[in-house]
Amino acid sequence: MGHEIACHGKHHELVYEVSAEEFRKRIGECKQTLEEITGEPVKGYRAPCFSMENEKLDVLWDLGFNYDASLIRFKEHKLYNVMDMSSFKNIESMVYKKEDKYEFETPTLDIMGKSIPISGGGYFRLFPLWLMKYFMKKHWEKEDNFIFYIHPFEVEIQIYFLN
C-alpha cells in the first residue's frame, strides 16, 4: 500500500493522436522534470483519458518506466482505448506482466450489465462519496486490488472563480 508520483504528461494529450516520436519526446521530458523535482525515479505512467496504444508501451519501456496504468475495460467513453492484453500474463487480480514490465487495470464495476469506472478522477467528482464507498465495497467483494487515481487539481486548496 502507498503512493508515488507517476507521469501523466504535460498537456493531457490523447496518446493515440501523437506520433511515437513525439510521444517519446514529450513523455521523456515530463519524466525528467518530475525526477528533477522529486529526486526520485518516476516508474509509472497513465495515459490521459486511458488513450494508451500497445505500440506506445515500448516507448515507455525504452524511457525507463516500469509500469503503465492505462488499461480500462470501458468502451462507452469515446476517448478511451481498450488495449489488447494478449501478450501479457494476468498474474493476479487486475495486474498483468510482460517480461519485467507491468500493466495495472483501472477498476470498473458491472452495474446493470454495464461496466462502469469507479476508481477516481472524474468519476470521483461525479459520484457522491457514499456511492463511491458502496462501489468500492462491491469491487472488493470480487477483487483483491484497487487503484485509486487523483489529479492534483482535484485536491487543490485554492479556489478559482470565473469572471
Query: For residue range 23-46, what is the model confidence (pLDDT) as tens digits?
Result: 999 999 999 999 999 999 999 999
Q: What is the DSSP letter of 4?
A: -
Q: What is the mean pLDDT of residues 58-79?
A: 91
- Alpha-carbon distance of 122 to 118, in angstroms, equals 9
Whether 163 maps to a domain, the answer reads no
> What was the pLDDT predicted at 163?
44
The structure's pTM equals 0.85
For the CA atoms of 73, 149, 7, 24, the dihedral, rounded to the nearest 10 degrees, stands at 10
Whether 103 maps to a domain, the answer reads yes
Whether 4 maps to a domain, the answer reads no
Whether 8 maps to a domain, the answer reads no
Whether 149 maps to a domain, the answer reads yes
Which residues 6+ apart lie within 8 Å of 8 measured at CB? 45, 46, 47, 48, 151
Domain assignment of residue 120, given as a range: 15-155
- Strand pairing category for 89-92 and 95-98: antiparallel
Whether 70 maps to a domain, the answer reads yes
How many domains in the chain?
Answer: 1
- In 3D space, the residue among 113, 111, 114, 112 whose CA is nearest the CA of residue 139 turns out to be 111
Cα atoms in the Cβ-side hemisphere of radius 13 Å centred on 71: 19
pLDDT, the chain, mean: 88
Whether 24 maps to a domain, the answer reads yes
